[in-house]
């Protein structure tokens, strides 16, 4: 029943979102079409339900050959591969809005673990890899909320971005997503949606740890951010 109701809610909310966000998305489409490299959409293979691949939709924010240069699939703060309009879209998270199309067609849900590419997925432990996508990946989720400024984290260390992600971010993010799998419910989903909106206005808030009192213990490298 939970999964059925969740799917109904996903469809209703995404249809409403498409209607309400059209006045925002249409100008962005035009700006992207006539600036930078003229690319509007960015499609990338991501791992989804039952570890099956799907194409994720995003607004294009980086140069076409970005995965082959610099830090590859990890984006750092002030990454030179990001276009001028892309910087705004990424900082505001507007670049993620086209994923409502993924939700509408059933690849994703509004709430769930973030869909990863192969490299980031392989940084998870084998246990996490086998369990994390027992539910559909989401536009937002507890991992997305806690690591709301992942670019800043990987940019504030002398460790190589990929190594920092593997050593510090992946273990805790995996623990958070396992927590979600164990506590998934409509009530949990609504609280995560609330937290996502909350952080638009209070981006440095740690309210998630108060709203969800039994989250995995907050690691030291996050306590200073």
Q: How far apart are CA 38 and CA 136, in angstroms?
A: 31
Q: How far apart are CA 211 and CA 191, in angstroms?
A: 8
Q: Can you tell me which residue has the tokens 């992946």?
A: 170
Looking at residues 51-59, what average pLDDT do you find? Answer: 96
Domain edges within the chain: 2-220
Is residue 176 very low, low, confident or very high in pLDDT (cuts 50, 70, 90)? Answer: very high
Is the model's pLDDT at 220 over the cut of 90?
no
Q: At what angle do helices 2-33 and 186-201 cross, to 10 degrees?
A: 30
Is the model's pLDDT at 59 over the cut of 70?
yes
Question: Tell me, what's the pLDDT at 224?
Answer: 55
Is the model's pLDDT at 225 over the cut of 60?
no
Question: Tell me, what's the pLDDT at 72?
Answer: 55
Question: Tell me, what's the pLDDT at 79?
Answer: 74
CA atoms within a 13 Å half-sphere pointing along the CA-CB vector of 130: 3
In terms of pLDDT, which residue wins out, 112 or 203? 112
Structure tokens at 140: 């937002």
Q: What is the pLDDT of residues 22-41, one digit of tens each?
A: 999 999 999 999 886 788 89
Give percent of the chain above pLDDT 70: 92
Q: What is the pLDDT of residues 89-125, one digit of tens each?
A: 888 888 989 999 999 999 999 999 999 999 999 999 9
Question: Tell me, what's the pLDDT at 185?
Answer: 96
Q: What is the pLDDT of residues 138-147, one digit of tens each?
A: 999 999 999 9
User: What CA dihedral angle connects 39, 66, 46 and 225, to 10 degrees?
Assistant: -110
Q: What is the pLDDT of residues 188-198, one digit of tens each?
A: 999 999 999 99
In terms of pLDDT, which residue wins out, 13 or 200? 13
């Amino acid at each position: 029943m939970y999964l059925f109701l969740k799917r109904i809610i996903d469809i209703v909310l995404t249809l409403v979102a498409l209607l309400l966000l059209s006045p925002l998305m249409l100008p962005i489409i035009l700006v992207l079409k006539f600036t930078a490299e003229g690319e509007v959409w960015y499609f990338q293979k991501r791992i989804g339900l039952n570890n099956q691949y799907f194409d994720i939709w995003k607004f294009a924010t980086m140069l076409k050959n970005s995965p082959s240069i610099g830090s590859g699939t990890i984006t750092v703060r002030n990454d030179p591969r990001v276009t001028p309009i892309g910087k705004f879209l990424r900082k505001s998270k507007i670049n993620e809005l086209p994923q409502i199309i993924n939700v509408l067609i059933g690849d994703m849900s509004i709430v769930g673990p973030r869909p990863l590419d192969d490299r980031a997925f392989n940084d998870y432990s084998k246990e996490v890899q086998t369990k994390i996508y027992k539910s559909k990946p989401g536009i937002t989720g507890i991992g997305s909320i806690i690591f709301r400024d992942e670019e800043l984290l990987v940019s504030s260390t002398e460790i190589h971005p990929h190594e920092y992600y593997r050593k510090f971010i992946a273990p805790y993010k995996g623990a958070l997503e396992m927590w979600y799998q164990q506590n998934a419910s409509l009530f949990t989903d609504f609280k995560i949606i609330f937290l996502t909106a909350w952080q638009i206005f209070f981006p440095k808030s740690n309210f998630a740890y108060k709203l969800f009192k039994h989250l995995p213990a907050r690691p030291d490298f996050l306590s200073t951010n």
